[in-house]
Amino acid sequence: MKRLFALTLLIVAGVSARAEAPVILVFGDSISAGYGLAHVEQGWVELLKTRLKAQGYGYQVVNASVSGETTAGGLARLPRALELHQPKIVVIELGGNDGLRALPIPQMRANLGRMIELAAAAGAKILLLGMRMPPNYGLEYTEQFQASFIDIAREKKIPLVPFLLNDIALSSKLLQDDDIHPNALGQPKLLENVWPQLTPLLRK
d(CA 78, CA 81): 5
- Phi then psi for residue 115, to 5 deg, are -65, -40
d(CA 126, CA 158): 6
Cβ contact 122:80 at 8 Å = no
Please pick, among 39, 172, 177, 178, the residue that the annotation labels catalytic. Answer: 178
| 171 given a catalytic annotation | no
DSSP state of 164: T
| 30 given a catalytic annotation | yes
| 178 given a catalytic annotation | yes
Please pick, among 29, 30, 65, 85, the residue that the annotation labels catalytic. Answer: 30
Please pick, among 29, 32, 85, 181, the residue that the annotation labels catalytic. Answer: 181
Q: In what order do the strands lie in the sheet with 60-63?
A: 60-63, 23-28, 89-93, 125-129, 160-161
Which residues are catalytically annotated? 30, 178, 181
